[in-house]
């Protein structure tokens, strides 16, 4: 995951369920699924363009299940066509390295002004 490990980790946590091996039919029966991070994902079926598809909803984001029930050694993978995240869920930031030094200089100037 390289430089963006933190962001990739948070995105994956929004897509992962631990402790249960849920097929698509199991998830649809429940109607929703909690993940490691964030609000539960809601699952439903709809007819879109004449085809019955499974839809995953998170707030106002909708993703179609492109391929479900890919069995793995520790559960199932369900491939969706959209990343389920909001802009607020992942932030990229850079710190201003000079900020502590600038604050120290301003504090020293203020203290010297008060003392005189």
Domain-located, residue 32: yes
- Rounded mean pLDDT of the chain? 81
Q: How far is CA 61 from the centre of its chain?
A: 12
Domain-located, residue 105: no
Domain that holds residue 86: 2-91
Domain-located, residue 107: no
Domain-located, residue 97: no
Q: Which two tokens stand for residue 107?
A: 């504090």
Q: How far apart are CA 11 and CA 90, in angstroms?
A: 8
- Strands, sheet with 41-48, edge to edge from the N-terminal-most edge strand: 32-33, 41-48, 51-58, 61-72, 75-80
Domain-located, residue 109: no
- Can you give the C-alpha Rg of the chain in angstroms? 23
Res 68: pLDDT: 92
pLDDT band at 100 (very low <50, low <70, confident <90, very high): low
How many distinct structural domains can be found in the chain? 1
Q: What is the pTM of this model?
A: 0.65
Domain-located, residue 18: yes
Domain-located, residue 116: no
Domain-located, residue 113: no
pLDDT tens per residue across span 29-83: 999 988 887 788 999 999 989 999 999 998 889 999 999 999 988 889 899 998 8
């Amino acid at each position: 995951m390289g430089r963006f490990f933190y962001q990739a980790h948070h995105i994956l946590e929004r897509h992962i369920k631990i402790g249960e091996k849920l097929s698509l039919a199991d998830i649809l029966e429940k109607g929703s699924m909690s993940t490691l991070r964030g609000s539960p994902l809601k699952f439903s079926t709809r007819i879109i363009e004449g085809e019955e598809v499974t839809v995953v909803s998170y707030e106002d984001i909708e993703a179609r299940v492109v391929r479900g029930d890919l069995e793995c050694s520790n559960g199932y993978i369900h491939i969706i066509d959209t990343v389920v995240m909001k802009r607020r869920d992942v932030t990229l930031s850079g710190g201003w390295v000079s900020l502590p030094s600038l604050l120290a200089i301003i504090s020293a100037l203020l203290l010297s002004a008060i003392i005189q």
